[in-house]
Amino acid sequence: MELPPGSPQPTYHIVGLVRDAKFLEVREERTSAALRFSANESSATFLPIAYLAVSQDSAPPPDLRIVLRSAVPPASLTHALTRAITEVAPASAVSYDAVSNYIDRLLVTERLMAWLSGCFGVLAMLIAAIGLYGVMSYLVTRRRIEIGVRMALGAEPRTIIRMMFAECGVLLASGIAVGAGLAGVTLRYAAALLYGLTPLDASSFALAIGGLGLASVFATWLPARRASRLAPTVALRE
């Protein structure tokens, strides 16, 4: 509580302690000290927080916020609470709001950015999967003559498909290794944009790798299966 200059320092009687809580904003760490910024100072100083009764404040604020926790529905309490407040202060105006709604309004910007980032991430993954499918499919299709020669020499269809999977798997593993390495470098920069999350999210990495791997499997299996079913004379004429 701020006191006018020259006022005597009051004596307080501590009746209890409370757990650490957030004071200024949702993003701050739980702390029992408040940050106080001065207009003439660029640094911040830590001050202890104390909860005082309104009757002890010589200059109470024009608006007071009361936090009420109850196991019963809020609608059943508002009437009795309003009546109790108006009996003490008849001219007061009383309004109610849920703490969850208040927190939701504070996090509108963060949730919007998270939603946009998620949409762009899904779009980037879709574009990467389409590009990977096109490259893998092209690499298999352009080897149809080689596949025809191998089949003319007695190679079985399953042997051709297994060979294509082995070669394309090496390319996929190399791309995943390079991509994971680059993602690891950018984790330190992504950590500053996250709240309550760790940048090294195993589920996200697994989902991305699984999606690209699935696209690679289809891009390899479909053209290889189609080429292995062609007659060797047809493949050699192309």
For 8-18, the pLDDT digits (tens) are 777 777 888 88
Q: How confident is the model at residue 237 (pLDDT cuts 50, 70, 90)?
A: low
3-state helix, strand, coil in the chain (%, to 5): 60, 5, 35
Q: How confident is the model at residue 35 (pLDDT cuts 50, 70, 90)?
A: very low
Give how far Cα 71 sits from Cα of 12, 100, 112, Å: 33, 15, 32
pTM for the structure as a whole: 0.57
Phi/psi class of residue 158: alpha, beta or left (left: φ > 0; alpha: ψ in -120 to 50)?
Answer: alpha
Report the distance separating Cα 2 and Cα 8, nearest Å: 12
For 194-207, the pLDDT digits (tens) are 666 677 777 878 88
| pLDDT of 220 strictly over 70 | yes
For 128-186, the pLDDT digits (tens) are 888 878 887 787 778 777 777 887 788 788 888 888 888 888 888 888 888 888 887 87
For 49-106, the pLDDT digits (tens) are 777 777 777 666 777 777 888 888 877 788 888 888 888 878 888 888 888 888 888 8
> H-helix or E-strand containing 163?
helix 157-190
